[in-house]
Amino acid sequence: MKTTILAASMFLSLAGAAHAQSEMTQSVTGSDQDVSGGIVSAEAVTAAQNGWLVVHRTDQEMAPGPVVGYAPIRQGTTNDVAAILQEDVASGDMLMLMVHAEDGGTQTGVFEYTLGATEDGPIRVDGDLVMTVITAQ
């Protein structure tokens, strides 16, 4: 009987965690910022799973372009996520801060995404990318 109660309790705990994860509103909060130090930061990232904050170039069409930086993120909400830029970004450049998954690749903990690939690809909620756009100052 103790085993049955323990198993039921564990099941309910896992079900509750899964429900909470599915109810989580995934988001990225960021604002225009000085990137002359080679860093771009999101004020907060909320993700339903471990993954990546990825910095894409973008423009007025708001399509994600090449990746210029990334940083690991944890499931839940993480504040002040800083990504090191891997190439120069000029004042006035538009950057898309986007949540990507940590799955589909061959190595855990290694960012493997390339534009258009499925490995460590973008997260979508109801068909929409989880992202925000900022302007480099």
131, with CB counted inside 10 A (0-12, 13-18, 19+), is buried
Determine, yes or no, domain membership for 17. Answer: no
Determine, yes or no, domain membership for 19. Answer: no
Whole-structure pTM over 0.75, yes or no?
yes
Determine, yes or no, domain membership for 2. Answer: no
Tens of pLDDT along the chain (137 residues) come to 444 444 444 444 444 444 444 567 999 999 999 999 999 999 999 999 999 999 999 999 999 999 999 999 999 999 999 999 999 999 999 999 999 999 988 899 999 998 888 899 999 999 999 999 999 99
Determine, yes or no, domain membership for 33. Answer: yes
The domain total for the chain is: 1
Determine, yes or no, domain membership for 5. Answer: no
What range defines the domain where residue 36 resides? 25-135
Determine, yes or no, domain membership for 16. Answer: no
Determine, yes or no, domain membership for 10. Answer: no
Determine, yes or no, domain membership for 14. Answer: no
**What's 38's domain CATH number?**
2.60.40
Return left, alpha or beta for 120; rule: phi > 0 is left, psi -120 to 50 is alpha, else beta: left
